[in-house]
Structure 1
Amino acid sequence: MARRGGRRRERLVHVLARVPLQPPWTVGEFLAWLEEDSGREVELVPWTGSALEPNNRCGLLLGGPTRYVIRYDATRSVRHQRQQIFHEVGHVLCQHPGETFRPTASVLTTGLSLAGIEYMMQRSTFDTPTEAEAELVGTQLAVLSRGPIDLDSRGELHRIAVTFDGS
């Protein structure tokens, strides 16, 4: 058991070492870097309408050769939103394969362009190795982030504030 935890920590350190950004970063800054690093567009799309069933909606990653779509629950706290978003980013950084997905109009895809979507990462529990790894990486990324879920948000003020308050 301790051996598996050691491998997870090594993997976390390896994945995080690839990130050249200075924390704390914003979601927008991180996703801009991810686009550059992966060569794929990253769309951030909150759930809408009937997808907002109480206690039933978390993050979702849809992907294809030219883009990623990250869905998240905008009715949750900003911290919880960042956690959902960075969990999905964790799947990308860890290069987890998704389930083959041939999208049709459904609750999962409401409001999305379906062009180029080939796979999906969706969980029912956190007890699989890929979900545990994405949660570990995503939590670390979320802890190192600040600010609203706003793609135009810049992190300079958050980085300056950290030098004064130490958090």
Structure 2
Amino acid sequence: MTAMLEEVNAVLMSSDLQGSWLSLNDLNSGNPDTGAGTKWVPQYSYGAAAITGLTNANVTLTPAQAMKKRIALADTLTANVQIIFPAWVGEWIVVNNTSGSFTVTAKTASGSGVLLLPGSKRSLATARTSFNRVRASRPPRSVHSRQRLHRFRRC
């Protein structure tokens, strides 16, 4: 898929038809699914990216993989591995289904990373350079639990 676009903010469907790309440049002729990831940003995506075959080599996600908000990692690690994300502003849920006594680090090319232990699931956010863990929000307490807590305090 190659497109020559006349204006900024043009939108193209992804090659798997499960998302769309937003152009950041005038006359953008790059392929958003396979390009360097600098002229396009994901506008919407559906589904997950499965990254398999992880053993001992670092993996740079393609834009088509990184546009998915859920990334699943799998295989048996024989060394520590880095998963390198594009320098986008975004959030991902990374599920580390790898096995072995090694770790995975999620990072951007120039930033620091977050360690992902085998069997873990993490919500991560980046503002282009370094990843941060996103704390899971707790559901609000019900009215009944607040009333019980209030009664307990009065005793």
**Band of TM-score, shorter chain:** under 0.3
| Larger-gyration structure (1/2) | 2
TM-score (normalizing by structure 2): 0.26
* TM-score (normalizing by structure 1): 0.25
Which structure has more helix as a fraction of its residues? 1
With CA pairs under 8 Å and 6+ residues apart, which has the higher RCO, 1 or 2?
1
